[in-house]
């Protein structure tokens, strides 16, 4: 018998709903919400003022009590005062136009220099100005099957060791830290890290493919946006409003890669990308905050607790985690680096809006809701059109009871701004 007897006493259904402040963890027990019944529904405006309301700790009736002394707190956001004062490269307000890389004798000489070709020589794009939390180290064009393309930007930061990403749609959105000229860098260095404008054109001859010679490294050609070659690049289907669409998306391996029907994360990412392609501009900030910041391993444990009947919030708390351990300083820094201070944010999560605006210049001028596709279809009486087995992903729709439950918990306990279909 595979069942864990210690869990047999677990209630089949999670305790009654109530708003959970993000990072709530101290004094939590699975029964805590029973003794604290007044509603904190999603009409509440701000989470912080409620953080201290949930302090009754009814440990006497709690077999699975969370030890408050082991509670995990968010790391205090830290801004470094100066990243590297020894660097004094000029700061550019506009992207420095990268001239076409002509293979002149000078370029070849530069590219042939051992310093340039040495694999140990790196230009990290480390920022020179104070208070930079994140900076872009590389960017590359990613073509997609429908013929459109975006530029994937990779970021380093001062808060963690993770590689956070930005999917940038449209040529007008540039990374200041990437475009900044690094001391001693050559045009080839800039091309390698993606700090060019326009598009690169392949000019490496077949016979050069097997080895990277001094000459082949100098052959990429950057073409300025104004050049005629840009006519070959896909045009935006529409025009972006003055504030671009932005999605701040947290990593979800199971939902995005694993075809999980426990959540709609993959569907949301696809939809955000679709909308940005249609507008011809936008940014998906992709944060490596798997499982609302608890990590994939812990999220899998949370799924096991969810299979026992606990909801997503309580499962986190039972694992000694906050309901939501994510932070948004890196997202703020990435958006600032990309020059995006006025944004239309694709989200249902009011906490995300509050966090991204906090202590920053960034203003969410509009919230663009993300209605779960299956709920939209249900409301429109079209759910039967998606003839898929429960839990299957088809036609970009994730549906099923587990998804419904996950979404309802977001509405009831995390203030998410979506209406639950009347039939649920």
Alpha carbon 333 to its chain's center? 13
* Token pair belonging to 276: 């940005």
Beta bridge partners of 345: 246, 367
Would you count residue 373 as binding ligand GTP (CB under 6 A)? Answer: no
* Of the candidate residues 289, 327, 332, 374, the single one contacting ligand GTP (CB under 6 A): 289
* Of the candidate residues 156, 189, 290, 336, the single one contacting ligand GTP (CB under 6 A): 290
Would you count residue 312 as binding ligand GTP (CB under 6 A)? Answer: yes
Nearest distance from C-beta of residue 168 to ligand GTP, angstroms = 18
Catalytic residue, chosen from 189, 264, 311, 324, is 324
Alpha carbon 276 to its chain's center? 15
Using the structure block, give the residue that is written with the tokens 């939209």. Answer: 376
* Of the candidate residues 98, 316, 340, 374, the single one contacting ligand GTP (CB under 6 A): 316
* Helix ranges (DSSP H) in 202-295: 253-256, 265-279
* Of the candidate residues 190, 249, 301, 373, the single one contacting ligand GTP (CB under 6 A): 249
Is position 179 annotated as part of the catalytic site? no
Would you count residue 291 as binding ligand GTP (CB under 6 A)? Answer: yes
Nearest distance from C-beta of residue 344 to ligand GTP, angstroms = 13
Cα–Cα distance for residue pair 271/12, rounded to 1 Å:
34
Would you count residue 268 as binding ligand GTP (CB under 6 A)? Answer: yes
Question: Please, which residue, 168 or 345, has the CB nearer to ligand GTP?
Answer: 345
Comparing CA positions, the residue from 336, 372, 370 lying closest to residue 356 is 336
Question: Please, which residue, 175 or 347, has the CB nearer to ligand GTP?
Answer: 347
User: In the window 381-410, what residues touch ligand GTP (CB under 6 A)?
Assistant: 410
* Of the candidate residues 148, 349, 355, 374, the single one contacting ligand GTP (CB under 6 A): 349
The piece of 53-61, 106-114, 275-283, 344-352 that touches ligand GTP (CB under 6 A) is 344-352
* Token pair belonging to 41: 């529904």
Would you count residue 263 as binding ligand GTP (CB under 6 A)? Answer: yes
Cα–Cα distance for residue pair 273/3, rounded to 1 Å:
42
Comparing CA positions, the residue from 176, 181, 165 lying closest to residue 123 is 181
Would you count residue 347 as binding ligand GTP (CB under 6 A)? Answer: yes
User: In the window 48-87, what residues touch ligand GTP (CB under 6 A)?
Assistant: none
Comparing CA positions, the residue from 56, 75, 12 lying closest to residue 329 is 75
* DSSP conformation letters of 157-202: ESS-S--EEEEEESTT---HHHHSPPTT--HHHHHHHT--SSEEE-
What is the β-pairing status of strands 282-287 and 245-250?
A: parallel
Catalytic residue, chosen from 180, 262, 326, 413, is 326
Is position 180 annotated as part of the catalytic site? no
* DSSP conformation letters of 202-226: ----GGGTTS--TTGGG--EEE-TT
Active site residues: 324, 326
Binding site residues, ligand GTP, CB under 6 A: 249-252, 263, 265, 268, 289-292, 294, 299, 302, 312, 316, 347-349, 352, 370, 410, 416
């Amino acid at each position: 018998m595979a069942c864990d007897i210690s869990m047999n006493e677990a209630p089949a259904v999670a305790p009654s709903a109530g708003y959970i402040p993000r990072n709530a963890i101290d004094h939590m027990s699975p029964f805590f919400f029973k003794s604290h019944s007044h509603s904190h529904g999603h009409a509440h405006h701000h989470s912080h003022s409620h953080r201290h309301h949930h302090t009754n700790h009814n440990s006497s009736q709690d077999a699975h009590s969370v030890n408050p002394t082991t509670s995990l707190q968010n790391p205090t956001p830290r801004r470094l005062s100066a990243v590297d004062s020894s660097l004094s490269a000029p700061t550019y307000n506009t992207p420095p136009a990268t001239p076409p890389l002509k293979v002149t004798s000078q370029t070849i000489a530069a590219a042939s220099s051992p310093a340039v070709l040495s694999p140990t020589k790196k230009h990290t794009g480390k920022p020179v100005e104070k208070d930079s939390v994140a900076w872009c180290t590389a960017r590359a064009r990613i073509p997609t099957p429908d013929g459109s393309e975006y530029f994937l930007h990779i970021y380093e930061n001062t808060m963690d060791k993770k590689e956070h990403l930005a999917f940038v749609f449209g040529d007008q959105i540039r990374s200041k830290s990437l475009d900044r000229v690094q001391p001693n860098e050559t045009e080839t260095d800039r091309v390698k890290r993606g700090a060019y404008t326009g598009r690169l054109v392949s000019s490496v001859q077949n016979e050069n493919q097997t080895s990277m010679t001094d000459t082949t490294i100098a052959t990429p050609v950057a073409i300025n946006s104004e050049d005629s070659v840009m006519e070959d690049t896909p045009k935006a289907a529409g025009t972006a409003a003055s504030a671009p669409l932005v999605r701040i998306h947290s990593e979800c391996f199971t939902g995005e890669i694993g075809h999980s029907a426990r959540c709609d994360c993959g569907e949301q990412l696809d939809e955000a990308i679709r909308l940005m392609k249609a507008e011809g501009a936008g940014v998906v900030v992709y944060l490596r905050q798997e499982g609302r910041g608890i990590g994939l391993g812990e999220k899998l444990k949370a799924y096991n607790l969810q299979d026992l009947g606990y909801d997503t919030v309580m499962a986190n708390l039972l694992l000694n985690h906050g309901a939501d351990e994510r932070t948004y300083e890196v997202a703020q820094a990435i958006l600032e680096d990309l020059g995006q201070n006025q944004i239309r944010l694709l989200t249902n999560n009011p906490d995300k809006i509050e966090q991204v605006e906090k202590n920053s210049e960034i203003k969410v001028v509009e919230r663009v809701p993300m209605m779960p596709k299956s709920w939209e279809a249900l409301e429109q009486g079209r759910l039967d059109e998606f003839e898929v087995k429960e839990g299957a992903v088809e036609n970009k729709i994730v549906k099923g009871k587990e998804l419904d439950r996950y979404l309802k918990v977001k509405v009831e306990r995390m203030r998410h701004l979506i209406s639950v279909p009347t039939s649920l």
